[in-house]
Every structure is written in C-alpha cells, then in structure tokens.
Structure 1
Amino acid sequence: MPPLYTDALLRIWHTADPPGLRLAGQVDMTNQSALMHHLLAVDAPPDDITLDLTEVTFFSFASLHALAAFAQALGPVQRLILHTRTPVIADMLLACGWNRPELPLTLLEEIPDD
C-alpha cells in the first residue's frame, strides 16, 4: 500500500488493524501538520487509536506536545497508543510528564531486535 504522505523526512501509512497510523523517518516542524492532519482523519472505533513509531528515528518535542494535545481531545473512553522502539521518544515523553494517568496516552516500548 502506498503511503498517505511522503516528504524528504517522513512517510505515513494508514493501519486498519489496529486503527491508526504507521510512521517511518523523522517528525519535525516541517511535517508535524501533515501528521496531525492524518491522525485527525483516522476512522477509529470509539476506543483506541494506535500510532506505530517503531520506524521513527527522530520526534521533535513540539510534535510530541501536539500528540499529547490530540490525546487530551479524545473521547472519554479513547486512548492514543504509541508503539516505539526508540528509547529517546519514551524518555522524552516521561521527562515531560506525559505519562500522567489522566492523560489518555499509553506508551508501549518494544525491545529492538539485536
């Protein structure tokens, strides 16, 4: 399946099971609005939306903040589920306090293949 979005740094694909997006590359201020546009367009059931970041090598703080704002705007039973293999993304989220129980954002850190 071709990507929904492609630029010099980032590619975005739609995922159906689980509903959400898969990203590869780098997310920064040049493509953050494209990410948010496609995230808002996800046709998800009234529960979780998944963002697969296992192929992301860089994620700016501003883009992570936009994801946290998106998670806060979700419905009362929805959660934004982030899958990552990059410890830096997990560390950035934890350092910013975005693992608070009241924020509907779950981080699932996968162990990289060695």
Structure 2
Amino acid sequence: MNEKILHLLGIARRAGRLSLGNDAAIESLRKGNARMVLLAANLSPRTASGVRQAAEEEEAAVVTCRATMDEISMALGKRTGVVAVNDAGFAEKLLALCKAQAAGTE
C-alpha cells in the first residue's frame, strides 16, 4: 500500500500540487491552499504537533502514513516528513488510500 501512496505523491509532485517541508506546508495551510497534510511515520512529535495545530486552524485533514522520511524522499526527490497536498482530487485519493492502509484492506 505504501507503494501506491508514494506513487501518487510522485505524480502530484510532478503536477506541482504539493508543498514540501514544514514551513511550506504551514504556509500553504495558512493561505488556504492545502486540502490535506501527510506526515511521515518517523516525523518528530514536536514538528507533527505544530503542523497538526496549523491544520486544525484551517480545518484540513492530517494523516500520518506508514512511510518514513527516507521512503518519501525517494518518491519525491527531496527529504521531507511533511507534505501538504494542494489539490482536492489528489487529497481525496490519498485519504482513501491511507484509510484503507490503516484498516488493513489493501
């Protein structure tokens, strides 16, 4: 399932629909562009807390996936643990994949 999520993230990156990194994701949230935020499994609790707070203020979904920062960096070409998805279609599909992953139905 991680492969599907990472592949979709790669497509969204090439389409220019992602904001990568903590600062860029929070800025995207504050501007109202981010539809959801994806957090790496091994992201520090302090960073995750700040992103969750910003997402809560803007009523955007926040999902922690099973992928690590290294796996995300391989898919996107940049080392990051925070990815803001700025497209409703990509966000909807990623949320569905993450929910299926959490439920164990792959």
Q: TM-score, normalised by structure 1?
A: 0.33
Larger radius of gyration: 1
Relative contact order, CA 8 A, sep 6+: which one is greater?
2
Structure with the bigger percentage of helix: 2
